[in-house]
Amino acid sequence: MGLKVKKKNKVALIFGVTGQDGSYLVEFLLKKNYTVYGIKRRSSSANTQRIDHIFDSIDFKNNNFFIEYGDVTDSSSIFNVINNIKPDEIYNLSAQSHVRVSFDIPEYTANSTALGALRILEAIKSLKLYKTKFYQASSSEMFGKQKTNKSQNENTKFHPMSIYGVSKVFAHNTTILYREAYGIFACNGILFNHESPRRGPNFVTKKIAQGLVRIKLKKQKVLRLGNLYAIRDWGHAKDYVESMWKIMQFKKPDDWVIATNYEISVKKFINLCAKKLKIDLVWKNKGIKEVGVDKSTNQIIIKIDKKYFRPGEVDYLKGNYTKARKQLNWKPKYNINSLIDEMIKSELDFHE
Ligand code: NAP
Ligand code: GDD
C-alpha cells in the first residue's frame, strides 16, 4: 500500500476581510480547507462584526483562520504580511468602496482603492513570489457612462464617472500590467453590484430593505433616497465570492465579467420590497418632488433628498457573463427575488 501524504492546505490572504465580500469569501475558503489570513485595519470601534461568528461556529470547527493588522495605504504593513505568510492566493477586496463618498474623499479613495492594488502587486514582485496568485476586485462602475443600454462584457470600453471608478480602472490596468510585464498570475473580476444581508447600510439595497422594514414596524417614518431611475444588475455576494475562487483556479490569469444579466431600477427594487412587506405603495409627483405614499395610511414614506445625488451618475449597468459561464462554469444561484427575500427576512429577524 502506498504512503498517503496529506496535502498541505492552500494558504489565502484576504485584504478587505471585514467587508461584505471578505466575510463570505473566508467562509467559502475555509469550507474548501484553506488556511486563511485576513487583514483588518485599525479602527476606533469594532469592525469585525461580519467575521466574528466564524471563530466559534461549529460550521467552521476545523478552521484555520487568522487576523493580522494592516492597511493598504501602508506599504510596509503589506510587504511584511506578504513576506511572513507567502500565500498561495491573495484576494484584494479592500477599497474605499462607496461611490458617492469617493467624491467627498477623492485623495483617500485613490490612495486605498487605486494605489492599494499597486502596493500589493509591488510586494509580490519585489519578494519574487511568482507562484502567488493575485485577485483584484474590479468593478462594473468602471464602465460608467455608456452610449447605449447594451449589456457590458470584458470588451466594453471604460468611461468611469466617479473617483472610485477612476481608481478601479487604475487598479484594473495595473493588474493587467503586472501580469503582462512580470508574468504574475494576476486576475481581475469585474463584478457587477452584489448585495446580501451583510451589505453596508449606506448602499441603496440595504438602505431600502432596512428602511421599509423599519417603516412597516412603525420604527421609522420616512426613507430618504436619491436617484430612483438608475438601473443596476444586482446579484448575491455569496454567489460572487465563488466566482472569485473559480477565477483563481482557471488555467491562466484573465479578466472576467461576473453578473446576473438581469437589470432593474432602484424604483423597481423598492416596489418589489414593498410588495413583499405588503406595503401598498403608490408614487406621486415627478422629479425632486416625487414621493412614495402608503395607500393604506395616506402617509408619505419615501422622499427624494438631493444630498444623495452624485456629481456623476452611472445610469445603466447590465452584465454579460457569457465568458464566465462558458469557461469557468459559473452562474448565479440567486435571482432578484431570492436576494430580496433573504435581505427582508434578515431585517425582520433583526427586530424580533
Ligand atoms: P466593503 O463591504 O466596503 O468592504 C471593503 C473592505 O475594505 C472592508 O474590509 C474595509 O475595512 C476594507 N478597507 C477599506 N479601506 C482599507 C484600507 N485602507 N486598508 C485595508 N482595508 C481597507 O466592500 P464589498 O462590498 O465587500 O466589496 C469588496 C470589494 O469589491 C471592494 O474592493 C469593492 O470596491 C469591490 N466591488 C464591490 C462590488 C459590490 O457590489 N459589492 C462590486 C464590484 C466591486 P473596514 O471594514 O475597516 O471598513
Ligand atoms: N447609496 C445610495 N443611497 N444610492 C442611492 C440612493 C441612496 O440613498 N438613492 C438612489 N441611489 C442610487 C445611486 O445613485 C446609484 O445609482 C444606485 O442607487 C446604486 O447605488 P449604491 O448602492 O451606492 O451602489 P453603486 O452602484 O454606486 O456602487 C456599488 O456597486 C459598484 C459596482 O457597480 C458599490 O458596491 C461599489 O463598490 C461597486 O463597485
Kindly list the structural domains of the chain, giving each domain's residue range(s) and its CATH number in brackets, ordered by start.
11-198+234-262+315-334 (3.40.50.720)
Q: Residue of the nearest CA to atom 14 in ligand 2?
A: 227
Least confident among 61-75, 169-183, 292-306, 313-327: 61-75
Ligand 1 pocket (Cβ < 6 Å) reads 15-22, 41, 43, 47, 71-73, 93-97, 112, 137, 139, 191, 193-194, 200
Q: What's the pLDDT score for residue 3?
A: 47
Average pLDDT over residues 240-263: 98
Does 193 score more than 90 pLDDT? Answer: yes
Are 126 and 80 in contact, with CB atoms under 8 Å apart?
A: no
Share of the chain above pLDDT 90, in %: 93
Interval between CA 294 and ligand 1 midpoint (Å): 35
Pairing of strands 299-304, 223-225: parallel
pLDDT value at 62 more than 90: no
**Between residues 149 and 285, the one the model is more confident about:** 285
- Nine cell digits for residue 182: 512580470
DSSP labels, 205-266: HHHHHHHHHHHHTTS-S-EEES-S--EE--EEHHHHHHHHHHHHHSSS--EEEE--S--EEH
> From ligand 2's centre to the CA of 345, what distance in Å?
22
Q: Is 68 exposed, middle or buried (0-12, 13-18, 19+ CB in 10 A)?
A: middle
pLDDT for the residue 2: 43
Q: What is the mean pLDDT of residues 312-340?
A: 98
For residue 9, count other CB atoms closer than 10 A to its CB. Answer: 15
Ligand 1, atom 6, lies closest to the CA of 16
In the structure grid, which three cell numbers stand for residue 200, read together? 453596508
- Report CA 164 to chain centroid distance, whole Å: 13
The residue type of 96 is: Q
Q: How far is the CA of 17 from the centre of ligand 1 (A)?
A: 8
Q: Which ligand is nearest to the CA of 201?
A: 2
Mode of pairing for the β-strands spanning 186-191 and 223-225 = unpaired
Q: Which atom of ligand 2 is found nearest the CA of 309?
A: 14
Write the pLDDT tens digit of every residue in 196-218: 999 999 999 999 999 999 999 99
Q: Which ligand is nearest to the CA of 224?
A: 2
Decide if pLDDT at 7 tops 60.
Answer: no
Which ligand neighbours the alpha carbon of 99 most closely?
2
Looking at all shown ligands, the one closest to residue 144's CA atom is 2
Percent of the chain with pLDDT over 70: 97
pLDDT (tens digit per residue) in 109-126:
999 999 999 999 999 999
DSSP line for 120-134: HHHHHHHTT-TT-EE
- Residue 145 has a pLDDT of 95
Average pLDDT, stretch 183-191?
98
- pTM of the shown model: 0.97
* Higher pLDDT among residues 343 and 9, named by residue: 343
Choice from 204, 306, 309 to test ligand 2 binding pocket (greatest atom count within 8 A of CB): 204
Amino acid at position 38, single letter:
G
Reported confidence tier of residue 59, pLDDT bands at 50, 70, 90: confident
Residue nearest atom 28 of ligand 1, based on CA coordinates:
93
Q: Are 137 and 112 in contact (CB under 8 A)?
A: no
Structural element, H or E, at residue 194: strand 194-195
The answer, yes or no, to whether any atom of ligand 2 lies below 6 A from the CB of 94, is no
User: Among 92, 96, 98, 99, which is best to mutate for testing ligand 2, by the most ligand atoms less than 8 A from CB?
Assistant: 99
CA of 286 to the centre of ligand 1 (A): 35
Residue 309 CA to ligand 1 center (angstroms) comes to: 22
Looking at residue 61, its pLDDT comes to 59
Q: Is 230 in the pocket of ligand 2 (CB under 6 A)?
A: yes
Q: What does the pLDDT read at residue 251?
A: 98
CB of residue 261 inside a 6 A radius of ligand 2: no
pLDDT reported for residue 55 = 87
pLDDT of residue 8: 79
CA of 16, closest atom in ligand 1: 9
Instruction: Round to whole Å and give the CA distance between 168 and 7.
Output: 36
For residue 171, pLDDT beyond 60? yes
- The answer, yes or no, to whether residue 60 has pLDDT greater than 90, is no
- Band (298; pLDDT cuts 50, 70, 90): very high
CA 6 remoteness from chain centre: 34
pLDDT over 70 at 149, yes or no? yes
Q: Cα(224) to centroid of ligand 1, in Å? A: 24
- Specify the pLDDT at position 148: 87
Ligand 2 neighbourhood includes 35 CB (under 6 angstroms): no
How confident is the model at residue 1, as a pLDDT? 41
Q: Report the separation in Å between the CA atom of 65 and the middle of ligand 2, taken as the mean of its atom positions.
A: 31
**63-78 tens-digit pLDDT:** 799 999 999 999 999 9
Average pLDDT over residues 167-193: 98
* pLDDT at residue 57 tops 60: yes
Q: Is residue 177 pLDDT above 90, yes or no?
A: yes
